[in-house]
Copies of this chain bind each other. A is one copy, B any other.
Amino acid sequence: MDRFSPAALALSIVQAPLAGGPSTPALAAAVSEAGGLGSLAAGYKTADAVAADIEAVRTVTAAPFGVNVFVPGPAPADAETVARYAETLQHEAGPLGEPRSDDDDWDAKLALLHAARPAVASFTFGCPSAERIAALQDDGIAVWVTVTTPIEARTAAAAGADALVIQGAEAGGHRGSFDDATPGTIGLLALLQLVAAETELPLIATGGIMSGAGIAAVLAAGASAAQLGSAFMLTPEAGTSAPHRAKLASEGETALTRAFSGRTARGIVNRFQRQHDADAPSAYPEVHHLTAPLRAAARTRGDAEAINLWAGQAHRLAQARPAGELVRALAADARAALRAAADRAG
């Protein structure tokens, strides 16, 4: 059976998984139904919840979609390091969580992928073993691996990935880096050129892409598709919280930080990020669990200064319109931009 290829998309647009709230079955279904590739985020959820999300998408559309899974890290973080960080958070409003280590239900999620067989299984925070990749492929699932450096791209290609999601430093949310100690911070266009020079695999470009012009750019650079995250976060289908929505549409500057989760991620700089960034250790998912109740409380009271405002560097260009309409408009703009540039170039 032929596995899904990004070249088969009617519109070369992939919706980024957007774990942690914005991801919904309605968003993934709308994007896929419009001719792009919607994605479900398995991250932070139980395998059962993800199974329900997959079912929800399939009640709306028969179009292909992807499911994104976090690859667990090699070892728990140092408990003392995490405890020291917890001390610095004592004055925050709201309860702290238990800083536990877990594998985000890895085995159950892999079993779910085999059972549910989405068109694409994409992975973040690492590269599954060649054996696991081959097993998924044997079930007809295309395996995409998120990479942030040429070295990670080589690892994923060697492990047999069907395609690489090239995540530029512009991207909002977590860096997909295999090792948080050395998060890749290469700009999208530089990374695309570097990886394209080494592999024939299809590349899906992500990081800061918000417009038809941005999509046209990565397609011209040779990417098979553009993956957009922040661009979808103001759509009515997204589960983005109200305070997060308000900040996305503003001019707020973004920065990389480990303050919220213990893993490097890009968010709009707010009070919490400014205050805790310097103290935050590399300790994922311990710090994620530690701050989760704090952030949930802040979200409930509408306090944008104490939640993780994940956003790519060009978030201000996000549009509040239905996801399907957005995908179609962006694709039309991208086509027009490519045609115009090709004509100018002669």
Contact = CB atoms under 8 A, between A and B. Distances in A.
Nearest to A7: B344
A208 B189 CA distance: 7
Contacts of A221: 213-214, 216-217, 337
The secondary structure that dominates the A interface is helix
Interface string A327-342: 0000000110111011
A197 B222 CA distance: 24
A12 interface: yes
B169 A189 contact: no
Contacts of A119: none
B208 A216 contact: no
Interface residues of A, number: 46
A259 interface: no
Interface in A259-318: 312-314, 316-317
What is the total number of copies of this protein in its complex?
Answer: 2
A159 interface: no
A193 B219 contact: no
A207 to B, nearest CB: 7
A210 interface: yes
Interface string A173-189: 00000000000001111
Of the listed residues A150, A168, A217, A222, the one surrounded by the most CB atoms of chain B closer than 10 A to its CB is A217
A345 interface: yes
A187 B214 CA distance: 12
Contacts of A170: 186-187, 189-190
Contacts of A190: 170, 207-208, 210, 214, 312-314
Nearest to A334: B345
A192 B214 CA distance: 8
A278 to B, nearest CB: 13
Contacts of A316: 194
Of the listed residues A150, A170, A312, A341, the one surrounded by the most CB atoms of chain B closer than 10 A to its CB is A341
Nearest to A346: B335
Contact of A217 (B189, B345, B346): B189
B189 A209 contact: yes
A151 to B, nearest CB: 9
Contact of A194 (B12, B222, B314, B338): B314
Nearest to A336: B345
Contacts of A344: 219
Contacts of A189: 168, 170, 187-189, 207-209, 214, 217-218
B12 A345 contact: yes
A136 interface: no
Nearest to A224: B344
B197 A317 contact: yes
A96 interface: no
Contact of A341 (B209, B210, B219): B219
Contact of A169 (B187, B211, B334, B339): B187
Interface in A221-259: 221-222, 251
Please give me the 3 A-B residue pairs with the lowest Cβ-Cβ distance, nearest first: A190-B208, A170-B187, A220-B220
